Structure 1
Amino acid sequence: MCLIVFAWQVVPAVPLIAAANRDEYYAREAAPAGPWPDQPRIYAGRDLKAGGSWMGVAQTDAEAAGASPRFAAITNIRAPLEHKADAPSRGQLVSGFLAGSMSPAEYVEHIRAGADAYNGFNLVIGDRDTLIWYSNKGGDDPRNGQPLAPGIYGLSNATLDSPWPKVLKTKAQFASLLCLGAPDDAYFEMLADTTRAPDLRLPETGVPLEVERLLSAVRIESPGYGTRTSTVVKLYADGPAVLHEMLIQ
């Protein structure tokens, strides 16, 4: 994912609501969201190059007995000067949590020692009871690797709640839609905004100005790279997780 906004323990009976766009090169093949043949508990899109995912849910074997479904999503940290060509795929961090049985806190501790081998990432993992943001570029942010407090959060290609224009705009729209009890169609409309930010508000991430302009839109459109999917996820207090995906390219 390259943009995700989410509400944690804000809406009664729906502990988590998330809306996200995945941006990627069109040439990188991916399977649409669905059950994985080799991991049928996982429901997610799949990167067919490295085998991982960018966002998904998983129902536990004991779901009927009240065990919680699982959620995971990832965004990249944009830092071209720090890019490691031989780094493992960050999508494996998503599928690893969804396929496993560790709690969110246990999983963070499990991956922490090897986190620097990956290029920069933001990982959001959780269940009905706990949601954690963990980044290998999280620095001194006291929230990094800890259970998040109830609230509305936003991520793009910097750390949690970095005030990039599309994060600020989408968080505000998302909060309004939550207050209105809007249907999923309204979240997908929010994610379809192709307006680019003014130059004075653009972050400086080490890419050329024209690229910063292109990447500033909520939904990115260009000949070779852009928003591939939009996704809305809900974890209910009583019931299975629900993931709706809209294919763009």
Structure 2
Amino acid sequence: MCTLTFAWQVFPDAPVLVAANRDERRDRASEPPTRTGADPTVIAPRDAEAGGTWIGHNDAGLFVGITNRWLADPVAERSRGLLVTDALRESDARSAARLVEHSVDTHGYDGFNLVVADRTAAYLFEWDGRLRTHHLDPGVHVVVNSGAALGGGGAMIDAFHTPDGNPDRAERAAEQAANAREVRTALTPEPGETADRWLDRAAGVLGDHDFGVCIHEDGYGTRSSSLLHLDDDGWTYRFAGGAPCETPYRPVGPGESQI
């Protein structure tokens, strides 16, 4: 699975904070974050096998991230990573949301959970052949393959699904949901906590095996981790090119790719 944790409109000086692990086959090639394009410039890693990306932001302040979602009958006409790349070319969350809605009508995609957010709006899209849209409240949200543990509005809301007809996947989905709830609880902001301190704590959670979101399996596992801080004054991006339990985060500079 992948784990996408983000705090939206929780900290006044940082409307969008993201801490995310990418889980993938170990033989699937990828490239570290780099800057591409202009107006807006996109900062994102790249999936070298299918193109596109799983996470990124642009210099207009828009964040986009995706996790897989199980489908009984995968379509796979077009890579989900290309949808993320398309959305990152938009100027704000609302226009990116419209692009997602149009794209699923135009192309065939395997299942996904996709987040778009900027300082004024945040959306979670669930696609499994039918599109469901959540307009998110300010809070800490955790998205995994089986759904999301949503926070905000004074409530904790679960939006998980159980794959039909596959007991193994149903068991894994339940485990993912439990892990996501634990991550959400652990990353409830502490009194007086700053945005940077929250991100540091989030990095520790992503690499802590007790939370079940740093994966080490034969041929599969957590391949990278990202920490993003977006605000009106700019952005910081720290990237670990391996499992965060054993790989240090390094800054992605404003004018260079991550080495």
TM-score range relative to shorter protein: 0.7 to 0.9
In the TM superposition, 1:187-226 aligns within 5 A as 187-195=202-210, 217-226=212-221
Provide the C-alpha distance between the structure 2 equivalents of 1:193 and 1:138, rounded to a whole number of angstroms: 34
Q: Does 1:169 align with 2:182?
A: yes
In the TM superposition, 1:18-167 aligns within 5 A as 18-36=18-36, 41-59=41-59, 68-79=60-71, 81-84=72-75, 86-101=76-91, 103-114=95-106, 117-137=108-128, 144-161=132-149, 162=160, 164-167=177-180
Change over 3 Å in CA distance of 1:135–1:178 after alignment to 2? farther
Q: Which moved more, 1:128-137 or 1:175-184?
A: 175-184
Q: Given residue 55 of structure 1, which amino acid in structure 2 is its aligned partner?
A: I
Q: TM-score, normalised by structure 1?
A: 0.76
Greater RCO, 1 or 2 (C-alpha within 8 Å, sep 6+): 1
* Corresponding position of 1:7: 7
Q: How many residues align?
A: 214
**How far did residue 187 of structure 1 move?**
2.0
**How far did residue 138 of structure 1 move?**
8.8
Change over 3 Å in CA distance of 1:178–1:243 after alignment to 2? farther
Provide the C-alpha distance between the structure 2 equivalents of 1:40 and 1:12, rounded to a whole number of angstroms: 24
Change over 3 Å in CA distance of 1:46–1:231 after alignment to 2? same
Q: Given residue 32 of structure 1, which amino acid in structure 2 is its aligned partner?
A: P
Q: TM-score, normalised by structure 2?
A: 0.74
Q: Does 1:231 align with 2:239?
A: no
Q: Given residue 209 of structure 2, which amino acid in structure 1 is its aligned partner?
A: T
Unaligned runs of 5+ in 2: 150-159, 161-173, 244-259
* Corresponding position of 2:254: none
Select the structure that is richer in strand. Answer: 2
Provide the C-alpha distance between the structure 1 equivalents of 2:10 and 2:223, rounded to a whole number of angstroms: 28
| CA deviations over 1:186-227 (Å, ceiling 9, x no partner) | 32211012237xxxxxxxxxxxxxxxxxxxx21000231000
Provide the C-alpha distance between the structure 1 equivalents of 2:198 and 2:126, rounded to a whole number of angstroms: 31
Provide the C-alpha distance between the structure 1 equivalents of 2:234 and 2:135, rounded to a whole number of angstroms: 22
**How far did residue 185 of structure 1 move?**
3.4
Q: Does the 8 Å CA contact 1:34/1:43 hold for their aligned counterparts?
A: yes
| CA deviations over 1:7-47 (Å, ceiling 9, x no partner) | 11111121111111000001010001121379981111100
Q: Does the 8 Å CA contact 1:122/1:159 hold for their aligned counterparts?
A: yes
Aligned-pair RMSD on alpha carbons? 2.6
Q: Does the 8 Å CA contact 2:67/2:143 hold for their aligned counterparts?
A: yes
